[in-house]
Amino acid sequence: NRAFVVSMQEYGRNDSQDFRNWVTVVILYNAGLLHYFEGVTNEMSPLNLRRSLKFFDIAAELLDQVDAYSNSVSTFDVLILQAALANNMGHINLCLQSERGAKECYETLKVVFQDLKWMPRLGEDEFFLFFMNTRSLETAPAA
């Protein structure tokens, strides 16, 4: 789990709606990540975990509006952020004992992994960590 950074060197000046949505998604994700870290380091604080989940939910909804195959945003960046959102949201759902939410996140991760496995920018170590977290979501008790 790490914050996302929007590199102006990579994207330059971009005024497209996809890019503006992308930057907003990154800000929402990073805000959610702060609450997530606070929640897991503060005795699994339900308040912080729910706040984090809210930021992640909004980020995921807006990310669905970003065209991952446009020239405005890197396809890899969109996919890796989808995976990070689903992974973190799945973990939070497990912590909050929402098996249904965890299973939904697991299904999202399975779909995203189908595209990510062909992307060489994702290192083996990172893919392994995502995979191991996904296994915990897959084995969540049935609702």
pTM (2 decimals)?
0.81
Number of Cβ atoms within 10 Å of the Cβ of 112: 22
> What is the Cα–Cα distance from 120 to 118, expressed in whole angstroms?
6
> What is the Cα–Cα distance from 127 to 133, expressed in whole angstroms?
10
> What is the Cα–Cα distance from 88 to 79, expressed in whole angstroms?
14
133's CB contacts (< 8 A; 6+ apart) are 87, 90, 91
Tokens 């992994």 -> residue: 113
pLDDT tens track, the chain, 143 positions = 778 888 766 666 677 788 888 889 999 999 999 999 999 888 888 999 999 999 999 999 999 888 766 777 888 888 889 989 998 999 899 889 888 998 898 888 888 888 776 666 666 666 666 666 666 666 555 44
Q: What is the pLDDT of residue 130?
A: 61
